[in-house]
Structure 1
Amino acid sequence: MDLLDWHRETLSARRLALLVKHLPRDSALNRELHGEAAEWSVSDHLLAAAVDHLAAANWMFACVNSEEGDQPEPPTPVPRPSYDDEGEAPPTTEPSPSPSPDPGSTPNDEAPSAVQLARFFG
């Protein structure tokens, strides 16, 4: 696809916007706009959360079954991308209050975003 087609008026602005909007996650534009966060999928966030939880469970087991002076160091969490570029705050461990659902509303069928998953799993 030649982007000069937009200037030649053979590519409409609507089609160009649609092409840009649906670029793949690993495209150069997404990496430039979102940095490392563009490379993290939902699966990556879930895997990092699982690794962190397993490390914490192993650490707790080691703490309970070791002597008082021989306590292991707490595990360091898997480094995650920062979301400051998107105007979002970095994920926190504090749960955000959720609004009460409308009795007449239907549940949202959209998958959670990577930012929402990171915020949920901390």
Structure 2
Amino acid sequence: MLALIKHLPRDSALQRELHGEAAEWSITDHLLAATVDHLAVSNWMFQCVNASEDGDQPDPPQPVPRPGSQDEDEDEETEGPDGRSPEAETPEVSPGQLARFFG
């Protein structure tokens, strides 16, 4: 049974549960996101160098969101009206509760 679990495909439900969104990203997806980020930065640098002399510089580009990374802006926006994050409202699940659920 352990051999079957170890060799499950990356997009299996178990892999998604264990690794979250990161299980769905292949190396190709990571390389494509890095390529998009590098192109955006190079276009931004070109605009900065060739901007007019009045001092208006464009804002730097935002990187493509990757699984497991959290933006600083997201932290501020996730707080509710009472100042608590939505994660604080989610109760923790104990191993015993998981065992009872899965039988």
TM-score by length of 2: 0.63
Match of 1:40 among 25, 31, 46: 25
Which structure has the highest helix share of the two?
2
Match of 1:77 among 63, 76, 81: 63
Paired with 2:44 and 2:16, the residues of 1 have a C-alpha distance of: 35
Match of 1:51 in 2: 36
Paired with 1:54 and 1:18, the residues of 2 have a C-alpha distance of: 42
Paired with 1:58 and 1:18, the residues of 2 have a C-alpha distance of: 48
**Aligned letter for 1:65?**
N
Paired with 1:63 and 1:70, the residues of 2 have a C-alpha distance of: 9
Return the offset for 1:65: 0.4
**SS across alignment from 1:32:** helix
Task: Verify: 1:24 aligned to 2:9, yes or no.
Answer: yes
Paired with 1:67 and 1:31, the residues of 2 have a C-alpha distance of: 48
CA RMSD of aligned residues (A): 1.2
Q: Give % identity.
A: 75
Between the two structures, name the one with larger relative contact order (CA 8 Å, sep ≥ 6): 1
Gaps of 5+ in 1: 1-15, 84-122
**Aligned letter for 1:31?**
R
Paired with 1:18 and 1:48, the residues of 2 have a C-alpha distance of: 33
**SS across alignment from 1:70:** coil
Paired with 1:53 and 1:72, the residues of 2 have a C-alpha distance of: 16
Return the offset for 1:82: 1.0
Return the offset for 1:25: 0.7
Gaps of 5+ in 2: 70-103
Task: Verify: 1:64 aligned to 2:53, yes or no.
Answer: no
